[in-house]
Amino acid sequence: MAAAQPSDTPARSPNHPLVQAHGLTKRYDGRTVVDGVGLTVRTGECFGLLGPNGAGKTTTLRMLLGLTPPDAGELTVLGEPIPERAREARTRIGVVPQFDTLDPDFTVRENLITYASYFGLKGETLARRVEELLEFASLKGREDVNIQSLSGGMKRRLTLARALINQPALVVLDEPTTGLDPQARHHIWHRLRTLLSRDTTLIITTHYMEEAERLCDRLAIIDQGRVIACDSPRALIQAHIEPHVVELSGHAATVWLDKQGALPEGERLHRVGDIALIYTHDPRPLLQRLDADGLRYLHRPANLEDVFLKLTGHDLRD
Amino acid sequence: MSPNLRFLHVWRRNLKVWRKILIPSIMGNFGEPVLYLLAFGYGFGMLVGDLGEMPYMVFLASGIICSSAMFTASFEGMYSAYTRMDVQHTWSAMLGAPLTVDDIVLGEVAWAATKGLMSAAAILVVAAVLGLVANAWALLALPVLLLTGFTFGACAMVVTAFSKSYDFFLYYFTLVITPTLLLSGVFFPLEQFPAPVQMLAYLLPLAHTVELVRPLLTGTMPTQVLLHLAVIAAYGVAGLMIATRLIRRRLIR
C-alpha cells in the first residue's frame, strides 16, 4: 500500500514541490472566484485549504485536477503542466470528491474493480490491491454488499479506498468528513494519518478548524478567492493571535462589557454575534475581574478559528 | 481527439451494469417490438395485403428492426446517459481517474450503439423465426444497425448536453424522433408521400438505414450503399463532435 512510484520523475525527489501554483485566477460571469492563488505543496505533507463555503477551495482543487481551466496563472502538479497534461497527472493522483460519486449499481468490490479499470489495472495485482484496500477501509465482510446499504461513514471510507486504487503519490480530498458523525470522522482521520505515515501527500479542503489543526502540516487560509495566510497551524496561531482567549456570552456579558468601558491595554475585544471574545497574553487580571463580578466565561487557548476571525474580520459562513 | 481505446473502459462499465439487469433488459428488447410486429403485422397486414411483391409483415419487420435501433440508442443516450452525468455523477468519478470527456462521450455513444444493435438483433431473430427473413445475407444488416445506433446515440448525447432535466427529452422525441419514425419508410413506403416530403425524408438518417436494411432482409442487394452509409455516418460524426464539445463545456468549467 505504500505509495511506491518510480522515483525517476523530478516530482518524486525529496523536498521538490509536488504542487506549484502561481497567480491562479478563475472568473465566472465576471465574478472572481479564485483571485491570484499561489501555493506550494511539498512531498509527504498534509496541506490544508481552509476557508468558508464559497471561498474558492473546491474551484482551486478542481484546477489542480485539470477539471477547471484557470483564466490566468501557472500550475504544475507532479511535474506535469496543468491543465495540458492533467490526464497524465491524474494517473498518479487519488480523488475523494465532496459528494458521493460511487456507482449505485455495483457492490463495494465492484466499485473498486470498476474504478481500477479506468486506470487500466487488472489481474493479480488488482485482486491483491482490492483485498488490501477492503482491509484498509474496514469493509471486509461487506465486499459483496450493494453500496446503497452502506452508512455514510462506510461510503466515505469506500470512496477513500477507491481513491487509493492506483497507489497515488498525491491524494486530493474535498471536505472528506463533512456530514459525518464524530466516530466516522475519527475513522477517516485515522486512515489519513496512516497514509501520511506512508509518505503519501495529501491536499485537503475543510471548513472544520479542528480537522485542519489535527491533520495539516501546513495550511492556507482562503477567503474570497485569496490566500490570506499560509503556514503551519501552530505558526499561524503564534503569529496572528494572543495565546489566551476568554469567551463571554449572553445579556450579562453585554452589560458587564458596557460597564467596563474600554478594556485595559493588552486585552483585545472581538464580537461575533452575541459572543464576545477577549484575546490577551496574560489572562489573570481579566479572570480576576470576571470572577469578582461572578460572570460565567470560557477560558481556552487560541485556535485557528481565532486566527480566521482576526484575518477575515468575519465569522465562518458554514 | 487523439485516437486511443480508453473509451472502452466507459463502454465496459456500462456493459457490467447491463449484465446485472440482463433478464428485464432482454425482455424489454424483445417484448415491445415483438408486440408491435405481431399486432400491426397481423391486424394491419390483413387490411393492407402485400406491398408489391412483399407481404406487409416482411415490410414491417425490416422497418421495426431499424426503428428499434434508433429508439434504443436514443433512450440510452438521453435518459441513461443523463442519469450517469447528473444524478449518479458517474462521469464526474471518471474525470477523477485518467479519463477525459472525449473518452466518456465516445464510450457512451459506443454503448448506445451496442444497445441499439442488441435490440435490433433481438427482433431480427424473432423475424427469422417467423419466416420473415429471406436468407443469411440479413446478417449484413447488423453493421448498418450498429452504425445507426451510433448515430442516434450521438445525436441523443447532444440533447443530453443541453438538458437541465429529464423533461427536456420529450421535446426531442416529439419534434425529432417521432417525425423521423413516420417519415422514414418504417410503417409504409416513402413513395406514398409527395416528392418534397420524400426529399425531406432522405435528409434524415433513418430513411437511409431502412433503404439498406430492407433489401438485405428480403434477399436483394441494396443500391447506393456508400451514399446511404455516408449520410448515416455524417450525422453520427457530427453528433459526436458537437456532443463532446458541449459536454466538455458543461463539465470542464
Q: What string of pLDDT tens digits covers the 253 residues of chain B?
A: 456 899 999 999 999 999 998 888 888 778 877 888 888 878 877 788 888 888 899 999 999 999 999 999 999 999 999 999 999 999 999 999 999 999 999 999 999 999 999 999 999 999 999 899 999 999 999 999 999 999 999 999 999 999 999 999 999 999 999 999 999 999 999 988 999 999 999 999 999 999 999 999 999 999 999 999 999 999 999 999 999 999 999 999 9
For residue B247, which of B159, B149, B176 has the smallest C-alpha distance? Answer: B159
Q: How confident is the model at residue A15 (pLDDT cuts 50, 70, 90)?
A: low
Chain B nearest-CA residue for A113 = B13
Chain A nearest-CA residue for B90: A101
- Interstrand relation of A93-96 and A170-174 (parallel, antiparallel or unpaired): parallel
DSSP A11: G
State residue B1's pLDDT score.
46
Chain B interface test: which of A28, A33, A82, A105 (most B C-beta within 10 Å): A105
| pLDDT, position B2 | 52
Question: Per DSSP, what are the bridge partners of residue A19?
Answer: A41, A77
Query: Which pLDDT belongs to residue B3?
Result: 65
CB contact under 8 A, B252 and A97: no
A53's grid cell: 463555503
Mutate to test the interface with A, among B9, B100, B102, B250 (most CBs of A within 10 A): B9
φ, ψ of residue A119 in degrees (nearest 5) = -95, 0
How much is the pLDDT for A176?
A: 94
pLDDT at A315: 57
Share of chain A above pLDDT 90, in %: 80
Which chain A residues touch B if contact means CB-CB below 8 Å? 28, 65, 67-69, 87-88, 90-91, 93, 95, 97, 99-106, 110, 114-115, 117-120, 163, 166
Is the ipTM of this structure higher than 0.90?
yes
CA distance A212 to chain B (A): 23
How far, in whole angstroms, is CA B123 from its chain's centroid? 13
When CB atoms are compared, the residue of B92, B95, B97 closest to A115 is: B97
**pLDDT confidence of residue A156:** 95
Cα–Cα distance for residue pair A36/B166, rounded to 1 Å: 39
List all residues 6 or more positions away from B91 whose beta carbon is below 8 Å from its beta carbon: B84, B85, B101, B104, B251
| Shortest Cα–Cα distance, B173 to chain A (Å) | 27
Say if the Cβ atoms of A95 and B12 lie within 8 Å. no
Q: What is the pLDDT of residue A13?
A: 47
Q: Which chain B residues are within 8 Å of A105, Cβ to Cβ?
A: 17, 20
Q: How confident is the model at residue A316 (pLDDT cuts 50, 70, 90)?
A: low
CB A219, CB A230: distance < 8 Å: yes
Tell whether B93 lies on the interface with A, counting CB pairs under 8 A: yes
> Which of A148, A161, A196, A156 minimizes the C-alpha distance to A178?
A156
Best of A31, A82, A103, A113 to mutate (most B CBs within 10 Å, chain B): A103
Chain A residue whose CA is closest to B96: A95
At A4 the three-state DSSP class reads coil
Assess contact for A59 and A34: CB atoms under 8 A.
Answer: yes
Give which of B1, B16, B86 to mutate to test A binding, by max A Cβ within 10 Å: B16
> Which residue, B168, B174, B175, B147, is CA-closest to B239?
B147
Average pLDDT score over residue span A295-305: 93
Per-residue confidence at A114, pLDDT binned at 50, 70, 90? very high
Q: Give the SS3 label for residue A190.
A: helix
- Taking an 8 Å cut-off on Cβ atoms, the answer to whether B98 and A87 are in contact is yes
- Report pLDDT for A54: 85
| Type of residue found at B237 | V
Residue B77 and residue B104 in contact, taking contact as beta carbons nearer than 8 Å:
no
Q: Which residue of B has its CA nearest to A166?
A: B97
pLDDT band at A205 (very low <50, low <70, confident <90, very high): very high
Give a three-class secondary structure readout of chain B.
CCCCCCHHHHHHHHHHHHHHCHHHHHHHHHHHHHHHHHHHHHHHHHHHCEECCEEHHHHHHHHHHHHHHHHHHHHHHHHHHHHHHHHCCHHHHHHHCCCCHHHHHHHHHHHHHHHHHHHHHHHHHHHHHCCCCCCHHHHHHHHHHHHHHHHHHHHHHHHHHHCCCCCHHHHHHHHHHHHHHHHCCCCCCHHHCCHHHHHHHCCCHHHHHHHHHHHHHCCCCCCCHHHHHHHHHHHHHHHHHHHHHHHHHHHCC
Question: How many Å apart are CA A202 and CA A169, to the nearest integer?
Answer: 9
Q: Can you tell me the mean pLDDT for A104-129?
A: 96
Distance in Å, alpha carbon of B205 to nearest chain A alpha carbon = 33
Cβ contacts of A29 on chain B, cutoff 8 Å: none
**CA of B46 to nearest chain A CA: how many angstroms apart?**
46
Residue of B nearest to A116 (CA): B97
Q: Which domains are present in chain A? A: 10-233 (3.40.50.300), 242-301 (3.30.70)
Amino acid at B170: L
pLDDT tens digit string along A235-270?
999 999 999 999 999 888 889 998 888 888 889 998
pLDDT value for A314: 64
Tell me the pLDDT band of A289, cut-offs 50, 70 and 90. Answer: very high
B19 — contact with chain A (CB < 8 Å)?
Answer: no
Helix (H/G/I), strand (E/B), else coil: A318: coil
Contacts of A110 in chain B (CB under 8 A): 16
How far is A298 from A249, CA to CA, in rounded Å? 9
Helices (H) and strands (E) in chain A, counts: 11, 14
- Apex CA B68: angle with CA B62 and CA B72, to 5°? 160
Q: What is the pLDDT, as a whole number, of residue A318?
A: 45
- Contact check, Cβ <8 Å, B253/A68: yes
Cβ separation of B96 and A68 shorter than 8 Å?
no
Tell which residue, A161, A181, A61, A69, has the closest CA to residue A114: A161
Other beta carbons within 10 Å of B16: 16
Mutate to test the interface with B, among A118, A155, A167 (most CBs of B within 10 A): A118
Please give the Cα distance from B127 to A9 (Å, whole number).
60
For residues B248 and A99, what is the distance between their CA atoms, to the nearest angstrom?
20
> Under a CB-based contact definition with an 8 Å cutoff, are residues A73 and A65 in contact?
no
Å between B50 CA and nearest CA of chain A: 47
Would the pLDDT of A75 be above 60? yes
**Which residue type does B19 have?**
R
Sign of the C-alpha dihedral, residues A81, A85, A87, A90? Answer: negative
The pLDDT score that the predictor gives to residue A250 is 87
Whether A119 and B100 lie within 8 Å, measured CB to CB? no
Are residues A21 and A73 in contact, defined by beta-carbon separation less than 8 angstroms?
yes
Count CA atoms closer than 13 A to A278's CA, side-chain side: 25
Nearest Cα residue in chain B from A117:
B9
| Cα dist from B155 to B17, B228, B244, whole Å | 23, 18, 11
- As a whole number of angstroms, the distance between CA A172 and CA A90 comes to 10
Using a CB-CB cut-off of 8 Å, the residues of chain B touching A98 are none
- The model's pLDDT over A118-150, given as tens digits with 9 standing for 90+, comes to 999 999 999 999 999 999 999 999 999 999 999
* pLDDT at site A207: 84
Give the pLDDT of residue A23: 97
pLDDT over 70, % of chain A: 94
